[in-house]
A and B are shown apart, each in its own frame.
Chain A
Amino acid sequence: MNIIGPDYLVFGVDDVAAACEYLTAFGLKPVDVTEKGGRFETLDGTGVVVRHKSDPTLPPPLPTSNMLRQQVYGVRSAADLDAIEAELSSDRRVTRLSDGSIELKDDHGFELKFQVTIRRELDMPAEKINAPGAPAQRGPNEIGVWEDMPALPRTLSHVVLFVPDIEIATHFYCERLGFVVTDILTGAGPFLRPKANDDHHTLFFIRTPDYMKGCEHLAFHMGGPTELMVAGTRFVKKGYQSFWGPGRHKFGSNWFWYFNSPLGCHFEYDADMDKHDDSWVAREAPNGAEASQIVLFEMREKWAPGGGPPPGAKG
Chain B
Amino acid sequence: MQNDVLIDERPGLAPAARRLCHVKDIGEGEARGFGPLPGSKRKIIVLRRKGVLHAWLDACPHYATGTPMAWKTDAYLNGEKTHLTCHSHHALFDMETGECVLGPCLGQTLTRIDIVVGEEGDVFVAAPAEET
Chain A residues within 8 Å of B, Cβ to Cβ? 13-15, 18, 22, 65-67, 208, 211-212, 214, 216, 238-243, 259-262, 264-266
Contacts and interface: CB of A to CB of B under 8 A. Distances in A.
A306 B103 CA distance: 47
A65 B68 CA distance: 19
B22 interface: no
A240 B87 CA distance: 11
Contacts of A15: 78-79
B132 interface: no
Interface residues of B, number: 22
A261 B80 contact: no
A260 B104 contact: no
Contacts of B70: 241, 260
The interface centre, meaning the residue of A212, A216, A238, A242 with most chain B CB atoms within 10 A of its CB, is A212
Given A243-B68, A260-B86, A261-B71, 5 more contacts: A18-B75, A212-B104, A214-B89, A243-B88, A265-B90
A185 to B, nearest CB: 17
Contacts of B109: none
Contact of A216 (B73, B78, B86, B89): B89
A22 B71 contact: yes
B41 to A, nearest CB: 10
Contact of B91 (A65, A241, A266): A65
B67 interface: yes
B73 A66 contact: no
A235 B104 CA distance: 26
B5 interface: no
16 contacts: A18-B75, A65-B91, A66-B90, A67-B90, A211-B104, A212-B89, A212-B103, A216-B89, A240-B72, A241-B71, A241-B72, A241-B87, A260-B88, A261-B87, A262-B75, A265-B90
Nearest to A17: B79
A208 B87 contact: no
A18 B106 contact: no
A214 B88 CA distance: 12
A66 B88 CA distance: 11
B110 interface: no
Contacts, number: 63
Contact of B102 (A65, A208, A243): A65
B90 A65 contact: yes
A165 B130 CA distance: 51
Given A212-B104, A241-B70, A18 B90 contact: no
B16 to A, nearest CB: 23
Nearest to A208: B104
Contact of B73 (A211, A214, A239): A239
A20 B89 CA distance: 18
A208 B104 CA distance: 9
B47 interface: no
B87 A260 contact: yes
A108 to B, nearest CB: 17
Interface in B29-74: 67-73
A15 B78 CA distance: 8
Given A65-B91, A261-B87, A243 B67 contact: yes
A294 B119 CA distance: 52
Contacts of B80: 14
Contact of B90 (A238, A242, A243, A264): A264
A246 to B, nearest CB: 16
Considering the complex of A and B, which 7 residue pairs feature the smallest CB-CB distances, nearest first? A14-B79, A15-B79, A264-B90, A239-B73, A260-B87, A260-B71, A65-B102
B92 A240 contact: no
A216 B68 CA distance: 16
Contacts of A14: 78-80
Nearest to B74: A239
B58 to A, nearest CB: 10
A13 B79 contact: yes
A261 B86 CA distance: 9
A264 B89 contact: yes
Contacts of B71: 18, 22, 240-241, 259-262
A265 B67 CA distance: 14
